[in-house]
Amino acid sequence: MTGFNLLQTALDELYVKGNTEAAGKLFPENYIAHAGSKTYNGRKFIRQYITGLRKSVSGIKVLKTEMLSENGNLITWKRTLSGIHRAVFRGIPASGKKIRWEEMLVSRLEDSLIAEEWLSSDLAFQLMLKNRH
């Protein structure tokens, strides 16, 4: 499986299917995620995040994935997702509306696993916008 295929498989298994057990096959135990000024660690974080996201945003679909560059074990890529905001997410009240958000990632692969990622997402911004209208 190529690096980009691994990333797409993780996206499908976790976000779309909600298969949090797949984290054990796709990420090492010492996985690291960087989002803004925060750092998160481990498969447990992945499982908790996906569970919370899918409770709040139902019917998640991957609209587009695009690999921007690959340099050794680093892949820079973009993904566009959609779903319905059905419950509170990180303090943002449910809007009941369809949302679409984009995420930019740099993923570092190691031993055919996703070892570390740097993520920028406009999910919170899109959720807040839907609550205003």
pLDDT (mean) for 19-27: 97
CATH number at residue 69: 3.10.450.50
What was the pLDDT predicted at 35?
A: 96
pLDDT digits (tens, 9 = 90+) for 63-104: 999 999 999 999 999 999 999 999 999 889 999 999 999 999
> Within 10 A of 56 (CB to CB), how many other CB atoms are there?
19
The whole model's pTM is what?
A: 0.92
- Number of independent structural domains in the chain: 1
What was the pLDDT predicted at 130?
A: 85
Q: What's the domain range around 123?
A: 3-132
Please determine, for residue 132, whether its predicted confidence score (pLDDT) is greater than 80: no
